[in-house]
Structure 1
Amino acid sequence: MNFDIFITCAVTGSGQSHLKSNKVPVTPAEIAAACIEAAKAGAAIAHVHVRDPATGAPSRDPALYREVVDRVRSADTDVVLNLTAGMGGDIVLGSAEDPLPLGPGTDLVGASARLVHVEELLPEICTLDCGTMNFAEADYVMTNTPGTLRAMARRIQAAGVRPEIEIFDTGHLWLAKTLVEEGLIDDPVLVQLCMGIPYGIPADPTSLMALVNHIPAGWVYSMFSIGRMQLPYVAQAALAGGNVRVGLEDNIWLSRGQLASNGDLVERAVTILTAMGGRILGPDEVRQKLKLTKRG
């Protein structure tokens, strides 16, 4: 078991959860406030997507990221910022019979375009989705080719930002090891195990341990599962030697019929972990662990 645990809160994500819960933050002010709320509840890291303030749709607009980052950095509550770099790899096929032209929702850009906000704002951490995957949607593919990932890893490394490697299936861990072997990712290597997302790796304990048992010594890892398994995975993560992610990106419920806030989910995670004998790490301890340079 990991007894010294950090919590990441993924505060909004890029899905349609804002249509299901009015607690999902949409505007930059709301997203920044959610980061601060999560930090006050015990999260050391806030994982950030941005949305179009008018529609709630996912966005890559650097101006929206800048407003969120400026608001968080100017607050009196410390938190490590982790900005997504996963946007810009979305392909939606026209249909099963006529895949071209590509359908609405396609957002496919190059490595440099996916990292404009990261290189401009220099968060302490940004994500690197280490592979391509089918999600539950019929014609949608999350697209991250080895060539694109190598190009992104080089730029992230040059910017002095720590990549959090997102692992959705076993082959993604294999590719992550390759990037490390090629010198594109510096120590300490940080990975996030993303469990239970159709059609990646299932959220059962044996599948989880198949990943954990192949993580190299010295790597730092965190994990989460989506939906109703999010809170059980808080305990599972600690037992498996890892760290924890919760938040409204992955689950909008605190209990059956009760919508959660980000702060609620972090508080529940703290309760679970401390009841197990765990100690929750603060932002400065995480910076030391991950060799991060505080920004802002």
Structure 2
Amino acid sequence: MNRDVVISCAVTGSGNTAEKHPDLPITPKQIAEASIEAAKAGAAIAHIHVRDPETGAASRKLELYREVVDRIRSSDTDVIINLTTGMGGDLYLGPEEDPLKFTEDTDLVGQLARMEHVEDLLPEICSLDCGSFNYAEGDYVYVSTPNMLDIGAKRLQEIGVKPELETFDLGHIAYAKHMLDRGLLDSPPLFQICLGVKWAAEANTRSFQTMVDQLPSGCNWSAFALGSMEMPMVAQSALLGGNVRVGLEDNLYLERGVFASNAQLVEKAHSLLEHMGARVQSAAEARNTFDLRGADKSTELRKSA
């Protein structure tokens, strides 16, 4: 069991949830404030997407990321910023008779284009989705090819940003280990096990244990699960020796029928972990645990920009 746990909070995500939760953070101000509130509740890391302030739809506009990050950095709250690079991988195939006629929902760009905001803002961590997979329903495929991953991992090494290796299935862990073997990832790598996402690894104990068993020796790792399995997998992750993630990206409810805030989900996870006999790490402690030495390089690059 891990008795010194790092909590991450994924504050808004990119899913179609803006109309499902009355107070989902949408504007840069709301996303920054939610990140700060989550940090004050015990989260060491804020995992950040941005949304169109007018529509609530997911976005990858640099100016939105810049406003969120500037607001967090100018606050008096210490929190590790973890920016997504998942946007720009959405492929919606056309109809059966013409699958190459991609629909208007397709937003597919190269890996470096997905990382423009990371290059500009130099967070301590950013996500790196470690493989393509069928997502949700219909003809939607999330695209993250081996070549894209190699390009992304190499560039993140160069700019000193730690990739959080998002693994939705066993093959994703296998490819991340392949990158590690080839020196594209610095040791110790940081993995995120993602559970309950259609149609990837299910949020159950056996799937979780199997994925943990495939992680490379000496790595750091965290995990999350969607919906009602969020808190059960918080407990499971700590028991298996890992760290945890909660937040409105993954689950909208504090309990059945009661909408949550990000801070409330962090507080609930914090309480659960303490009742299990664990303590929760601060942001400063998490930097040491996850060996975020690249943070110094990123700071130097940011100051010289």
- Both proteins in one fold, TM over 0.5: yes
Using the TM superposition, give the Cα deviation of residue 265 of structure 1 relative to its aligned residue in structure 2, in angstroms. Answer: 0.3
Alignment-mate amino acid for residue 108 of structure 2: L
Alpha carbons 2:165, 2:190 under 8 Å: kept: yes
Matches of 2:273 and 2:133 in 1, distance apart?
31
Matches of 2:98 and 2:145 in 1, distance apart?
23
Matches of 1:50 and 1:159 in 2, distance apart?
22
Matches of 2:81 and 2:210 in 1, distance apart?
29
The corresponding residue for 1:219 is 219
Alpha carbons 1:88, 1:107 under 8 Å: kept: yes
Deviations 1:239-292 (A, max 9, x none): 111000000001101100000000010000001000000010000001111222
The corresponding residue for 2:254 is 254
The corresponding residue for 2:241 is 241
Matches of 1:185 and 1:96 in 2, distance apart?
39
Using the TM superposition, give the Cα deviation of residue 96 of structure 1 relative to its aligned residue in structure 2, in angstroms. Answer: 3.3
Deviations 1:144-166 (A, max 9, x none): 00001101111111110000000
1:72 aligns with 2:72: yes
Q: TM-score, normalised by structure 2?
A: 0.95
The corresponding residue for 1:278 is 278
Alpha carbons 1:14, 1:51 under 8 Å: kept: yes
Using the TM superposition, give the Cα deviation of residue 231 of structure 1 relative to its aligned residue in structure 2, in angstroms. Answer: 1.2
Matches of 1:209 and 1:64 in 2, distance apart?
38
Alignment-mate amino acid for residue 17 of structure 1: T
Larger deviation: 100-109 or 42-51? Answer: 100-109
Alignment-mate amino acid for residue 96 of structure 2: A
Matches of 2:183 and 2:261 in 1, distance apart?
39
The corresponding residue for 1:3 is 3
Matches of 1:120 and 1:186 in 2, distance apart?
21
Using the TM superposition, give the Cα deviation of residue 187 of structure 1 relative to its aligned residue in structure 2, in angstroms. Answer: 1.2
The corresponding residue for 2:49 is 49
Using the TM superposition, give the Cα deviation of residue 188 of structure 1 relative to its aligned residue in structure 2, in angstroms. Answer: 1.5
Give the 3-state SS of the residue equivalent to 2:210 in structure 1.
Answer: helix
Alpha carbons 2:168, 2:197 under 8 Å: kept: yes
- Residue correspondence of structure 1 range 141-220 to structure 2 within 5 A: 141-220=141-220
Give the 3-state SS of the residue equivalent to 1:244 in structure 2.
Answer: strand
The corresponding residue for 1:106 is 106
Alignment-mate amino acid for residue 31 of structure 2: I
The corresponding residue for 1:138 is 138
The corresponding residue for 2:123 is 123
The list of structure 1 runs, each at least 4 consecutive aligned residues, that deviate by more than 6 angstroms after superposition, is none
Using the TM superposition, give the Cα deviation of residue 110 of structure 1 relative to its aligned residue in structure 2, in angstroms. Answer: 1.1
Sequence identity percentage:
55
Using the TM superposition, give the Cα deviation of residue 100 of structure 1 relative to its aligned residue in structure 2, in angstroms. Answer: 2.5
Alpha carbons 2:224, 2:244 under 8 Å: kept: yes
Give the 3-state SS of the residue equivalent to 2:101 in structure 1.
Answer: coil
User: Which sections of structure 1, spanning at least 5 residues, go unmatched?
Assistant: none
Give the 3-state SS of the residue equivalent to 2:18 in structure 1.
Answer: helix
Alpha carbons 2:170, 2:214 under 8 Å: kept: no
Matches of 1:15 and 1:123 in 2, distance apart?
22
- Count residues with an aligned counterpart: 296
Q: CA RMSD in A?
A: 1.0
Matches of 2:236 and 2:148 in 1, distance apart?
33
Q: TM-score, normalised by structure 1?
A: 0.98
The corresponding residue for 1:83 is 83
Alignment-mate amino acid for residue 84 of structure 1: T
Matches of 1:37 and 1:97 in 2, distance apart?
50
Give the 3-state SS of the residue equivalent to 1:127 in structure 2.
Answer: strand
Matches of 1:104 and 1:256 in 2, distance apart?
36
Alignment-mate amino acid for residue 77 of structure 1: T
Matches of 2:73 and 2:113 in 1, distance apart?
24
Alpha carbons 2:50, 2:59 under 8 Å: kept: yes
Alpha carbons 1:96, 1:139 under 8 Å: kept: no
Matches of 1:77 and 1:279 in 2, distance apart?
20
